[in-house]
Amino acid sequence: MEFLEYLLSRLHEELNSSDSIGTLTHQKGHQKNAEAEASSMAAWRAYTNKNNSIIVDLFHGQLGSTFTCLKCGKTSATYSSFSHLSLPLPTTKTRRPVPLLCCIEEFLQKEKLTDHWRCPICKAHKGAEKQLTIYQLPLILITQLKRLTSENGQPVRLSKKVEIPIKLDLTTYVHSPHGPTSERSQRFIYDLYAICDHQGDWRSGHYTASVRSLHRPGWNGFNDREVAPLAELETQNEILVRQIHDSCFM
Ligand SMILES: [Zn+2]
C-alpha cells in the first residue's frame, strides 16, 4: 500500500496541470447538513482547482472530520482528500469473518478524543467527539485493512478473515444533504476488481494478488512472477472470504 500510495502521488505530481500547489485541507464550521454540504463542496472545488490530474479524477475522494466540543457543543469540520480508505478491523469475540461493510461502519463510528482538539469557543484543549463522514467517493476505490496493532507492547498482525462483496454498495455511507435515509439520485455501487492477500506474521510474509481478468470472465492469481487463472474464483460467488490486506473496487 505504501508503494501504491507513493506511485499514485508521484504520478499525480507529474500530471498535475494546475499551476498553483495548494493546501489539501479546508476548515469551516458548520451546524446543519446543508451547510456541511456547501462547505465540503467549496473545499472540494478548491482542492480540484489546485490538483488537476487523471489520478485525482480516478482515485481521490473526500472525507470530512467533524469535531464536537463535549463542554460547549461547538461543532467544526475539516475536509481532506484521500486516495484510499484505511479501515479498522472491528474487535469481535467470534471467529466468524467480518463483512467489509462492518469495517466501513467502524471507520465512520464516533470517536472520543481526550485532549487533542482545541475548541475555538472554550479556547482550550477540551474533550471532543470526532466523526468521519464520506463526502466524495472516487471512481476507483482502494481500501486497506489496518491489520497491524500491538498487544502488551508487542506488534501483532490481526489474522481475522474478511467477507468482501463482489458488488459493494456504499450509497448509504456517503453524506447526503437531506439526511442518511433520503432518496439519492446518485448511487455508489462498485465491482470488486482486485484483492491483495498476505501470508505470514508482522515480521515477514508473502503477498499475493487476485485480479479480475479484463479479457475473459474470471480471475488471475499473481504470485511473484507467476500469473495463472484462479479456478476457485471462477464461480459466481457473491462474497469472497479472505485474509485480505487491500482491495480495489471499480
Ligand atoms: Zn468548547
pLDDT digits (tens, 9 = 90+) for 141-166: 999 999 888 888 888 888 888 999 98
- Collapsing DSSP to helix, strand or coil, 12 comes out as helix
Element (H, E) at 227: strand 226-229
**Which pLDDT belongs to residue 181?**
61
Predicted TM-score (pTM) above 0.95: no
Residues 6+ positions from 155 with CB-CB distance below 8 Å: 148, 149, 202
Q: Which of 197, 201, 221 is nearest to 211 (CA)?
A: 221
- Give me the CATH code for the 2-249 domain, please: 3.90.70.10
Owner of C-alpha cell 470517536: 111
Report the percent of the chain where pLDDT is more than 70: 88
Most distant CA atoms of the chain, gap in Å: 61
Residue 183 or residue 50, greater confidence: 50
User: What is the CA(143)–ligand 1 centre distance, in A?
Assistant: 34
User: What is the CA(127)–ligand 1 centre distance, in A?
Assistant: 8
Region 100-126: what's the mean pLDDT?
Answer: 87
User: What is the CA(193)–ligand 1 centre distance, in A?
Assistant: 45
User: What is the CA(59)–ligand 1 centre distance, in A?
Assistant: 36
- Grid coordinates of 15: 500530471
